[in-house]
């Protein structure tokens, strides 16, 4: 691929056949890896983060640190927004960030947060009213895959929006699913994935808790289940944390309080029943209310009384009366 | 391995270093494959099935068809019981089958049904009171793996019981997990596996139903989820049935009415809460009551109203009012 143009200069646009100038807002666990993947692919991304010094630290190895979202937006063709939720995206684009006003017409916003699909659909219309394109592009895979350019993007949007992005998406993701010609489909598939991920984590916790209650060796249970029809990606991944007694948050309990809340919000809009999702949501809220909201999401297992968890002194002993 | 002795002759016993004579009761989807695997491994199994002619048809290619469970039991060292549930196992051993009375002291019963672990623990004591060994040995993997000798066994029992079985277990299963020195542990792990399998099937149905409700292309959704963190063994396997609109029962809805019932019974004995299992159990019972009990367990998706299922005319149309 040809070298990216110098950021800040009057940038050639993707429509000219040149790579677009890319800006990325939000250098968190996912965003920092995505920005590094862009840089590795030959883009020199313009970056911004609300935390002082984070953008400057990134730009020491290439790219440009911007002092504000508006400064970043004014100089780029594609703005990748990798913030926590819809409220922060709203602030980046229409609030204090002011990106929607600062972007030149014809630029494209790549919206990577997990949000209510109906909000994403409305966002596309609001951006188009300002002459901007949008890709609905939630991401999946975790920080390690983001850093390696190996994450998954669940995207939808107009052909013109995809065209505007040039090689930007492929530079960040191993798989770019194209799920529809308007915003919304990407977010819907992401929401369904979060439904399954959340229910599977809670189910893994429930199963492991029952095994512990019954005196089954947890390592043996893990070995059997991960080789049987009861396995899930989440059981295999998260129950390793429980076996190790390590609740360092790779993804926190409160993330699933939020994401299963989005699942239920989307379904409520069409009055659709989700018995397992609502039950799992209650379990994560129970864990959060008990003080585990910032622990790893596998800490949802701590809602089960009367068991002793591996690798820690925590958890009630069998019998549950502090003996 | 050396050839198995002729069944019916005064059989050399495993304790002599010779392969045991094996009998297998229940030539259903799993049992017929297991008996065939035994035969392929050099055993000439004695077989019985309650359905007339089934044992005789099997024995045309080797082994011996027995006219009754008692006749089968009188001539074997290891009796593999592959019937539907605890009630049928009870009948084989102590009821009309009378196997416990017919088996020679020192023989071993290999109990392969999915049962309440506490019942299995009690069964071991009842058999030992008659001078018989027992292995708690639930099976997993489906009919195709059983036929190929590639299924999984989740076993526990006394060392003497394992010794009595010689190469019988390995002849039937690719993986023989040894989970404890008494009956119960095998059934407990199997029950935990069924908890996850049942919840995952119901969660897969809930997720696919939500996607359909939201107008997501189901094949695209399947492709994304099976490559994402939301995947489970059951989503990948069972949602292929839903995409094909094929509810031919490989494993029926009513099996999970039974198995999640066993999960809940086991937990209730120690007053342990299982919020997701109880919710999923209600979903399978709803499907069964609606008339889908004998369809493939993926038919639990038919409890969701207001969606049109792929590949069939069934399911309410969007809007749910028969338009």
Q: How far apart are CA A208 and CA B166, in angstroms?
A: 32
**Whole-number pLDDT of residue A316:** 45
Domains and CATH numbers, chain A: 14-182 (3.40.50.720), 189-303 (1.10.1040.10)
CA nearest to B268 within chain A: A210
**Whole-number pLDDT of residue A16:** 56
**Whole-number pLDDT of residue A300:** 98
How far lies A320's CA from each of A262, A290, A300, B270, in Å?
35, 16, 18, 12
B197 to A229: CB separation less than 8 angstroms, yes or no: yes
B176-194 pLDDT tens trace: 999 999 999 999 999 999 9
Which of B117, B174, B194, B214 to mutate against chain A (most A CBs within 10 Å)? Answer: B214
Q: How far apart are CA B245 and CA B259, in angstroms?
A: 24
Question: Contacts of residue A270 in chain B, CB cutoff 8 Å?
Answer: 213-214, 306
- For residue A78, list its beta bridge partners: A22, A108
Read out DSSP for A267-293? Answer: HHHTT---HHHHHHHHHHHHHIIIIIT
Q: How far apart are CA B33 and CA A314, in angstroms?
A: 46
B306 to A270: CB separation less than 8 angstroms, yes or no: yes
Which residue in A187, A173, A172, A183 sits closest to A138, CA to CA? A187
Question: Contacts of residue A203 in chain B, CB cutoff 8 Å?
Answer: 195-196, 199-200, 203, 276
A193 to B237: CB separation less than 8 angstroms, yes or no: no
Which residue in A173, A102, A163, A166 sits closest to A139, CA to CA? A173
Question: Contacts of residue B179 in chain A, CB cutoff 8 Å?
Answer: 216-217, 220, 224
A216 to B154: CB separation less than 8 angstroms, yes or no: no
> Catalytic positions of B, please?
190
Give the pair of three-digit tokens for residue B25: 């009761």
- Kind and range of the H or E run holding B37: helix B29-40
Residue A44 CB-half CA count within 13 A: 18
Q: List chain A pLDDT tens, one digit each, 323 residues.
A: 333 333 233 333 444 568 899 999 999 999 999 999 999 999 999 999 999 999 999 999 999 999 999 999 999 999 999 999 999 999 999 999 999 999 999 999 999 999 999 999 999 999 999 999 999 999 998 889 999 999 999 999 999 999 999 999 999 999 999 999 999 999 999 999 999 999 999 999 999 999 999 999 999 999 999 999 999 999 999 999 999 999 999 899 999 999 999 999 999 999 999 999 999 999 999 999 999 999 999 999 999 999 999 986 544 444 433 33
Q: What is the pTM of this model?
A: 0.90
**Interface pTM (ipTM) of the complex?**
0.90
Instruction: State the count of interchain CB pairs (< 8 A) between A and B.
Output: 215
Question: Contacts of residue B175 in chain A, CB cutoff 8 Å?
Answer: 227
Beta-carbon count within 10 A of A67 CB: 10
Each residue of A274-307: b (16+ CB within 10 Å) or e? bbbbbbbbebbbbbbeeebbebbbbbbbbbbebb
Q: Which residues contact A226 (CB under 8 A, 6 or more apart)?
A: A235, A236
B141 to A229: CB separation less than 8 angstroms, yes or no: yes
A230 to B192: CB separation less than 8 angstroms, yes or no: yes
- Give percent above pLDDT 70 in chain B: 91
Of A202, A208, A228, the CB nearest to B276: A202
């Amino acid at each position: 691929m040809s070298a990216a143009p110098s950021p800040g200069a009057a940038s050639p646009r993707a429509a000219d056949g040149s790579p677009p100038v890319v800006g990325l807002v939000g250098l968190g666990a996912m965003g920092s890896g995505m920005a590094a993947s862009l840089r590795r692919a030959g883009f020199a991304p313009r970056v911004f983060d609300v935390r002082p010094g984070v953008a400057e630290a990134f730009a020491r190895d290439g790219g440009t640190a911007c002092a504000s979202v508006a400064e970043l937006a004014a100089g780029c063709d594609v703005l990748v927004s990798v913030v926590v939720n819809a409220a922060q995206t709203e602030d980046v684009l229409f609030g204090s960030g002011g990106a929607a006003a600062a972007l030149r017409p014809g630029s494209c916003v790549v919206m990577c947060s997990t949000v209510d699909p109906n909000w994403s659909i409305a966002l596309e219309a609001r951006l188009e009213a300002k002459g901007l394109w949008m890709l609905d592009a939630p991401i999946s895979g975790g920080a390690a895959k983001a850093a390696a350019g190996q994450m998954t993007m669940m995207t939808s949007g107009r052909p013109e929006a995809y065209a505007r992005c040039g090689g930007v998406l492929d530079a960040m993701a191993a798989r770019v699913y194209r799920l529809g010609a308007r915003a919304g489909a990407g977010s819907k598939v992401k929401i369904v994935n979060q439904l399954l991920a959340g229910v599977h984590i809670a189910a893994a916790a429930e199963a492991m808790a029952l095994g512990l209650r019954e005196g089954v060796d947890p390592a043996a249970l893990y070995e059997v289940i991960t080789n049987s029809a009861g396995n899930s990606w989440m059981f295999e991944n998260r129950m390793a944390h429980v076996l190790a007694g390590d609740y360092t948050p790779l993804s926190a309990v409160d993330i699933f309080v939020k994401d299963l809340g989005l699942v239920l919000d989307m379904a409520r809009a069409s009055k659709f029943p989700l018995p397992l999702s609502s039950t799992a949501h209650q379990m994560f809220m129970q864990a959060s209310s008990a003080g585990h909201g910032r622990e790893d999401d596998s800490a949802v297992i701590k809602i089960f009384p009367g068991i002793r968890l591996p690798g820690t002194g925590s958890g009630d002993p069998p019998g549950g009366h502090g003996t």
